[in-house]
């Protein structure tokens, strides 16, 4: 059975360039069945049937002279959105796989104030996620997080080198051995929710990077709402967050 590199098989199947095919795989948009193709140079059967899932159109929740609130789809980078919003600057970021409310500032005075609110930990950010395991009791996770930034950022609980990080987790519902939880973060460390949930033994479904044993089309984490400088925004839960299966 003939094999070739995944990006070459995809390029041939879609009649696109090798470069375009590799980019689609690197962006996490290519699937075989329900499994994401993660390594562009992996050897695959030339008869492999791929499926490309392009991100949905970006939905603007609100816009005025100070900011733009976006309902970010999963599988698109926060900085890619910034590039297409002329004159807007990213105020915070969400991981590529995370959906939900994302804010952009439109003038320097507001941007400065907003950055000050984030640094002072006065921004209220609420998330919803599906996790592995049966979660039934509210928890406050107060564990310092240290981040190593090389080719890909990796964070860990580290009492010595870590910076203060507080996450509040509340149970919402249970389906089999998976639980839906509501999460509020008091700080904004890199991968904070992912690291804290994995640390207490409840990794986010699909977050294989931090130990989830469950394969999924994406990490099931959604930024549900945010409150900042008198503004309050909420992004509706996408279907994969509303119900696990």
Which tokens in the block code for residue 190? 């890199």
Cβ(202)–Cβ(141) below 8 Å: no
Whether 77 is catalytic: no
CB burial string 61-70: b at 16+ within 10 A, e below? eeeeebbbbb
Angle at CA of residue 192, ends 243 and 169, nearest 5°:
50
Pick the catalytic residue: 95, 97, 132, 240? 95
**Catalytic site residues?**
95
């Amino acid at each position: 059975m003939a094999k070739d590199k995944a990006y070459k098989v995809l390029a041939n199947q879609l009649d696109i360039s090798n470069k375009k095919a590799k980019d689609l795989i690197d962006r996490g948009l290519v699937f075989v069945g329900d499994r994401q193709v993660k390594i562009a140079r992996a050897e695959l059967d030339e008869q492999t049937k791929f499926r490309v899932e392009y991100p949905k159109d970006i939905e603007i929740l609100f816009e005025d002279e100070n900011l733009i609130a976006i309902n970010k789809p999963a599988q698109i980078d926060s900085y890619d959105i910034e590039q297409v919003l002329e004159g807007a600057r990213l105020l915070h970021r969400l991981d590529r796989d995370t959906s939900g409310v994302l804010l952009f500032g439109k003038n320097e005075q507001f941007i400065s104030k907003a950055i000050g609110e984030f640094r002072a930990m006065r921004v209220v950010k609420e998330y919803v996620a599906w996790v592995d395991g049966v979660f039934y009791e509210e928890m406050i996770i107060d564990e310092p997080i240290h981040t190593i930034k090389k080719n890909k950022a990796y964070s860990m609980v580290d009492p010595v080198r870590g910076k203060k990080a507080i996450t509040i987790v509340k149970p919402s519902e249970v389906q089999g051995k998976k639980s839906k939880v509501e999460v509020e973060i008091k700080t904004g460390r890199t991968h904070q929710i992912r690291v804290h949930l994995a640390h207490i033994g409840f990794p986010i479904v699909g977050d294989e990077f931090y130990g989830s044993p469950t394969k999924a089309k994406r990490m099931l984490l959604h930024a549900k709402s945010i409150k900042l400088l008198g503004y309050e925004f909420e992004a509706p839960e996408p279907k994969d967050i509303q119900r696990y299966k």
